[in-house]
Structure 1
Amino acid sequence: MSSAFFSALRSRDVSKATELGQMSGNWPALAMGAITQLDQIWQDDTLPIGEIAETYWTLRRTLDELTTTSAEFPGNALSIGRAIIYIPDAEQHTFGPQMLVDKVMRMGWDAQLYYGFGSESLMKRLSTESVDVVGISVGTDSRLDGLADLILDVKQYSMNADIKTLIGGNAISGASDQYGFLGADWVATSTQDALQFFERDWSKQKLREGRFNG
């Protein structure tokens, strides 16, 4: 299926690539395989740069289809918790956060990617819906400005007084304790750090607080 998926991307057929991704049951693996192939093609210089760029763009559009941002949560009562992975509206990256959302959902979370909206929209949502975790993805160092205020707003506007905040992304690297001034509950300097929070540390934290019986 990976070859068919890559062929659909090369043909700029978003519908076919989306269909194959849904059928596979593991579209992140297909996407990563396609990126590996494109990287190799880039290094070998076997395709024009324009065609490589078009294939990447088709992959981006396919991922948008596979991880659609809906207006409301599905509300799965059996989920571990509800999480929003938020990309500030000034950011352009979506691939990494989309992959994270998919992996977190596979763990049993009711998770959703939220992007293309300003912080006012996020605060309005948090004030009307109970959310357990807000993860904020930061792509560049310049986006760290104002992040502490955004995290503070999340805690102030959330109808859930126990909401937890997580920050990650390409701009977050090195020792996690250097970002303490931002006020986040968890700092992920890698994808694995973020997955560890959702997979293990969340449950440990709930046990310590006496609010988790799962």
Structure 2
Amino acid sequence: MPIDDLDQGYVVRLDAAARSTDSSACAILAREMIRNGITREEIADHYVPALARWMGECWVADEMSFAEVSIGVARLQTLLREVGPDWRADVIDTDGETSVLVVVPDAEQHTLGAVALAGQLRRLGLSVKLWLGYRAEEAHRVVAEARYDAVFLSLAHHGTLESVRDIITLIKKAAVNQPPIVVGGAIVGPPIDIRTATGADHVTNDVNEALRLCRLSVRSGQTAPREMRS
């Protein structure tokens, strides 16, 4: 959702909270937003990603320093954990649920999108293992420890394409059941054919499309979330 479509009062205040010296400012504001009718899902799926993108644009325009953006995005990522305590545990298909491995390579510095994606998938009833800081030497252990139904890679910049192709090759060799591999993130889009460049099975930034392409089913309803931790 574009940032202009959100409640601008809360956008401004959340931006200030993310830059505040008070590390609890984002969580305090989020609780107020929830009391006033903004759902935890809306905060996680719309407010946090939109504000993170806006911070990145400000850095490109030299309106925020790299340190300010790094701190702000880190605060927003912490907020995702605060608003979604039910969405954060790494669970590996212990009771027959569809399981997905979400991977961010070690060379990538942007992990917020993957954390948000993992939360979305868990709310849909999928079992998710979030692997931040992928290292090639760990591929066999992590991928072979469970039968994943799909592997999603979150990528931000084209400089990692060559290494990503190697990552996908290693994952395919290590996985016992050959799950489909989907690439998403800021890297998706012209002029590069990401599917050809990486060897991925699918390329998309649409979660529902990714699930459809991988033929993964989700539960029809969602369990009511618990209250956000204080």
TM-score by length of structure 2 reads 0.65
Given the superposition, is the C-alpha separation of residues 151 and 16 from structure 1 closer, same or farther in structure 2, using an over 3 Å criterion?
Answer: same
User: Does the residue aligned with 2:131 lie in a helix, a strand or coil?
Assistant: strand
Structure 2 gap segments, 5+ residues each: 1-8, 221-230
- The answer for the alignment partner of 1:209 in structure 2 is none
Give 1:1-214 correspondences, 5 Å limit: 2=10, 5-18=14-27, 20-21=29-30, 24-26=39-41, 27-28=43-44, 29-32=46-49, 34-35=51-52, 49=64, 54=68, 57-64=71-78, 66-67=80-81, 72-73=90-91, 75=93, 77=95, 79=97, 81-159=98-176, 161-174=177-190, 179-180=195-196, 182-188=198-204, 191-192=205-206, 194-198=207-211, 200-203=212-215
User: Does the residue aligned with 2:48 lie in a helix, a strand or coil?
Assistant: helix
Q: Distance in 1 between matches of 2:56 and 2:157?
A: 22
Structure 1 gap segments, 5+ residues each: 207-211
Contact 1:13 1:58 in 2 (8 A): no
Given the superposition, is the C-alpha separation of residues 71 and 178 from structure 1 closer, same or farther in structure 2, using an over 3 Å criterion?
Answer: closer
Q: Distance in 2 between matches of 1:110 and 1:19?
A: 29
User: Does the residue aligned with 1:116 lie in a helix, a strand or coil?
Assistant: strand
Contact 1:18 1:65 in 2 (8 A): yes
- Tell me by how many angstroms 1:63 deviates: 0.4
- Tell me by how many angstroms 1:25 deviates: 1.7
- Tell me by how many angstroms 1:143 deviates: 1.0
Q: Distance in 1 between matches of 2:109 and 2:141?
A: 22
User: Does the residue aligned with 1:92 lie in a helix, a strand or coil?
Assistant: coil
Q: Distance in 2 between matches of 1:94 and 1:163?
A: 22
User: Does the residue aligned with 1:144 lie in a helix, a strand or coil?
Assistant: helix
- Tell me by how many angstroms 1:6 deviates: 4.0
- One-letter amino acid matched to 2:189: S
User: Does the residue aligned with 1:171 lie in a helix, a strand or coil?
Assistant: coil
TM-score by length of structure 1 reads 0.68
- One-letter amino acid matched to 2:213: D
User: Does the residue aligned with 2:182 lie in a helix, a strand or coil?
Assistant: strand
Q: Is the helix fraction higher in 1 or 2?
A: 1
Aligned residues: 198
Which structure has more RCO (C-alpha within 8 Å, separation ≥ 6)? 2
User: Does the residue aligned with 1:14 lie in a helix, a strand or coil?
Assistant: coil
Q: Distance in 1 between matches of 2:143 and 2:118?
A: 18
Given the superposition, is the C-alpha separation of residues 34 and 76 from structure 1 closer, same or farther in structure 2, using an over 3 Å criterion?
Answer: farther
User: Does the residue aligned with 2:130 lie in a helix, a strand or coil?
Assistant: strand
Deviates most, 70-79 or 163-172: 70-79
- One-letter amino acid matched to 2:95: A
